[in-house]
Amino acid sequence: MPATPAPDERSAPFFEAAERGVLALQRCEACATFLSPVRGRCTSCGDTRIAWVDSSGRGRIWSHGRLRRSYLPEHEGKLPLDLVLVELDERVRFASRLATGEDGNVRIGDRVAVVFERLADGTPAAVFRREV
């Protein structure tokens, strides 16, 4: 199983926005709650009217960890990886990793911004770089 989901009918708008260099999120049209990961129903009110909107792509590191052992083939030669849970400015958490080349001195509360890196198959992956 790949670390990044493959585009499908429900997640296609996410990947279309990623091709434009934009982090798109789902937002409930009934209560305006942002959703992550991709869902078919609002986790707050249960409504199924979900729209895709462009996010700021900015936030703060809420939690983090360091992956030192490879469990997936796509991690070979890229370790260690700093995994992050980012609380975006839209008040939703997004799981990812730090961008290639980041130094690894991660601190909770660090400001970050999304950037996109290409996976081996060309799929854009949303990762985060610390803001200076």
Domains and CATH numbers, the chain: 8-55 (no CATH), 57-132 (2.40.50)
Q: What is the pLDDT of residues 17-71, one digit of tens each?
A: 999 999 999 999 999 999 988 999 999 999 999 999 999 999 999 999 998 988 8
Q: State the pairing for strand pair 93-97/111-118.
A: unpaired
Length of the chain: 132
| pLDDT tens, residue by residue, 81-113 | 899 999 999 999 999 999 988 877 899 999 999
Tokens 């434009």, residue?
20
Instruction: State yes or no: pLDDT of 12 exceeds 90.
Output: yes
Distance CA 83, CA 27 (A): 25
Q: Radius of gyration of the chain from Cα atoms?
A: 15
